[in-house]
């Protein structure tokens, strides 16, 4: 059947049957069902067109999620002291994906090419050198700027440059800005799984082309640095791949 007719999802009637239920709900006058359906359909199309030109107006038929923008743990927490190399990898991942740090990444790459002119055309070597030295370079760069007047360093950048604490709370499930993240062990025990969503990304931080690493832990790392002689902490959300 598949060989003759093609994949089943091109031929099944479930979407049409569900939409027939929607059309039946549009009928208010049973003596004129076609007219009710047409009027309701035109009204929805007109309202949908108007919402595209109005601000703070939700789309017709699409319920607003109560979890959008919410970040909170969805499982119990266990505190673990992680290895320094693994912590640096997670820290570098957060830095590489923070827009405020992007100018410093460009400056560091220029610094490496200037310091090692013989390797300026070797992209892989430059990226490895950047990954191994960027954290220390950024910390020194930010500390040097803080000593200047009108340094312009934001509070968020100061936390990021200081680095995370080695004592990391671990979670099996976490809600970040309305999106639920689960580790592989948590996803395996579920009866329903969303395995069709994926993300295409370009990165030099993958071990090899065969690297298929999945979520093994979800970290909420505590970043700390000395401010006016006292040690303070701030929560920083990060994921360990």
pLDDT tens-digit series, residues 186-217: 777 776 665 555 555 555 555 555 555 554 55
pLDDT of residue 221: 47
pLDDT of residue 107: 92
Higher pLDDT, 14 or 201: 14
C-alpha distances in Å from residue 130, one per residue of 90, 93, 107, 160: 15, 12, 11, 17
Q: How many CB atoms are closer than 10 A to CB 94?
A: 19
DSSP for 116-158, written as a single string:
-GGGTT-HHHHHHHHHHHHHHHHHHHHHHHHTSTT----HHHH
Helix runs in 171-222, H state only: 184-188
At residue 23, the 3 state secondary structure works out as helix
pLDDT of residue 176: 80
Please determine, for residue 232, whether its predicted confidence score (pLDDT) is greater than 50: no
**Contact in structure between 222 and 233 (CB atoms under 8 Å):** yes
pLDDT tens digits, residue range 27-82?
A: 988 888 999 999 999 988 888 888 778 777 666 665 566 666 778 888 888 888 88
At residue 17, the 3 state secondary structure works out as helix
**Contact in structure between 159 and 222 (CB atoms under 8 Å):** no
**Contact in structure between 70 and 177 (CB atoms under 8 Å):** yes
The phi-psi region of residue 119 (left if phi > 0; otherwise alpha if psi is between -120 and 50; otherwise beta) is alpha
pLDDT of residue 167: 84
CA distance 96 to 205: 10
CA distance 61 to 17: 18
């Amino acid at each position: 059947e598949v060989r003759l007719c093609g994949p089943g999802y091109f031929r099944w009637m479930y979407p049409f049957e569900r939409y027939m239920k929607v059309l039946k709900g549009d009928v208010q006058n049973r003596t004129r069902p076609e007219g009710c359906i047409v009027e309701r359909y035109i009204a929805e199309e007109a309202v949908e067109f108007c919402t595209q030109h109005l601000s703070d107006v939700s789309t017709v038929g699409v319920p607003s999620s109560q979890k959008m923008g919410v970040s909170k743990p969805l499982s119990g927490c266990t505190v673990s002291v992680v290895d320094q190399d693994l912590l640096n990898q997670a820290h570098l991942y957060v830095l590489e994906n923070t827009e405020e740090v992007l100018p410093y990444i460009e400056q560091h790459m220029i610094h490496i090419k200037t310091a090692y002119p013989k390797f300026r055309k070797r992209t892989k070597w430059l990226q490895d050198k950047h990954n191994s030295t960027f954290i220390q370079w950024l910390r020194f760069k930010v500390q040097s700027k803080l000593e200047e007047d009108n340094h312009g360093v934001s509070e968020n950048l100061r936390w990021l440059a200081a680095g995370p604490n080695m004592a990391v709370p671990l979670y099996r499930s976490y809600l970040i800005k309305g999106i639920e993240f689960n580790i592989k062990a948590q996803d395996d025990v579920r009866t329903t799984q969303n395995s069709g969503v994926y993300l295409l990304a370009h990165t030099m931080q993958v071990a090899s082309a065969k690297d298929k690493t999945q979520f093994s832990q979800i970290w909420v790392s505590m970043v700390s640095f000395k401010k006016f002689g006292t040690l303070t902490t701030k929560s920083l959300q990060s994921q360990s791949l």
